[in-house]
C-alpha cells in the first residue's frame, strides 16, 4: 500500500517554490539589465551603443544559459542543483559590486572606442551571472513537468510568472529603486536574495529527499 497524499502535498509545495523562485529570477535579471546602463554611463556614456552592448550581452548569455539549463535538466533534475544556480549567480555578482569600477576604468583606458569598450565591459561584468540565471527557466520547466501531456500548459504558466517578474523588476527598478538606493546597494541586496533563494531550494530539496514516501 502507498500513501499518495504526502507525495501530492510535497509535489505541490515544490511547484509553488519553483514558481516563486522563477518569479524572483525574472525580476532580478531585468533589474540588473536596467542597472547596467547606469553602471556603464560614467565611463562610456548612455548612448545607443552602450545599450546595444548591454542588450546583446544579456541576450547572448541568456541563450547560452537556456541551452545549458535544458541539457542539465535531462539528468536527474533536483531542487538541490536548482538551488545551486541561485547561489552561484549570487557569488558571480560580487565582482560587479566590489570591482566593477576598477574593471571599467581599466577597459576605459585601454579601449578608446566606447562601442567596443562598453561591449567588453558588459561581457566581463554581466555575462557569467546572467548565463547562470538563464539556466533557471528551462530547469524550472523540468522540475514542474510530471505529465508530458501538460508540458505546454506548465511551460506557459512558468514563463508567464517569470516574465511577470521581469516586468515588475523593470518597473520597480526604473521607477523606485534607483531613486531610493545606490546601485551597489541594489546589486548587493539582489545578491543576498539570490543566495537566500538558493539556500531555501537546497534545504527543501534535501528535506524532500530525506522524507521520500516509503511504499509498502
Instruction: Check whether 44 has a pLDDT greater than 50.
Output: yes
> Tell me: the pLDDT tens digits for 97-153?
999 999 999 998 888 888 899 999 999 999 999 999 999 999 999 998 876 777 788
Confidence of residue 206 (pLDDT cuts 50, 70, 90): confident
Give me the residue spans of the domains in the chain. 34-209
> Tell me: the pLDDT tens digits for 144-160?
887 677 778 888 899 99
DSSP state of 100: H
CB-count burial class (<10 Å; 0-12, 13-18, 19+) for 143: buried
> What rounded mean pLDDT belongs to the chain?
88
Confidence of residue 77 (pLDDT cuts 50, 70, 90): confident
Instruction: Check whether 216 has a pLDDT greater than 70.
Output: no
CA distance 22 to 40: 27
Instruction: Check whether 35 has a pLDDT greater than 50.
Output: yes
Closest CA to 142 of 74, 191, 210: 74
Closest CA to 183 of 117, 102, 100, 59: 100
> Tell me: the pLDDT tens digits for 163-172?
999 999 999 9
Instruction: Check whether 210 has a pLDDT greater than 80.
Output: no
- What is the chain's length? 216
User: What is the pLDDT averaged over residues 7-19?
Assistant: 75
With 0.75 as the threshold, say if the pTM is over it.
yes
> What does the block give as the cell for 142?
523540468
Amino acid at each position: 500500500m502507498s500513501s499518495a497524499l504526502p507525495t501530492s502535498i510535497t509535489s505541490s509545495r515544490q511547484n509553488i517554490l519553483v514558481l516563486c523562485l522563477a518569479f524572483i529570477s525574472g525580476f532580478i535579471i531585468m533589474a540588473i539589465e536596467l542597472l547596467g546602463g547606469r553602471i556603464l554611463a560614467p565611463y562610456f556614456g548612455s548612448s545607443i551603443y552602450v545599450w546595444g552592448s548591454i542588450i546583446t550581452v544579456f541576450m547572448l548569455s541568456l541563450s547560452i544559459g537556456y541551452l545549458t539549463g535544458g541539457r542539465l535538466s535531462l539528468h536527474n533534475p533536483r531542487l538541490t542543483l536548482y538551488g545551486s544556480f541561485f547561489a552561484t549567480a549570487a557569488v558571480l555578482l560580487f565582482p560587479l559590486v566590489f570591482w566593477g569600477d576598477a574593471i571599467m576604468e581599466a577597459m576605459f583606458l585601454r579601449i578608446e572606442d566606447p562601442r567596443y569598450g562598453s561591449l567588453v565591459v558588459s561581457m566581463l561584468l554581466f555575462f557569467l551571472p546572467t548565463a547562470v540565471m538563464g539556466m533557471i527557466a528551462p530547469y524550472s520547466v523540468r522540475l514542474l513537468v510530471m505529465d508530458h501531456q501538460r508540458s505546454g500548459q506548465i511551460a506557459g504558466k512558468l514563463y508567464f510568472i517569470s516574465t511577470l517578474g521581469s516586468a515588475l523588476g523593470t518597473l520597480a527598478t526604473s521607477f523606485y529603486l534607483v531613486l531610493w538606493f545606490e546601485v551597489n546597494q541594489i546589486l548587493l541586496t539582489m545578491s543576498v536574495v539570490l543566495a537566500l533563494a538558493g539556500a531555501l531550494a537546497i534545504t527543501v530539496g534535501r528535506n524532500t529527499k530525506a522524507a521520500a514516501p516509503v511504499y509498502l
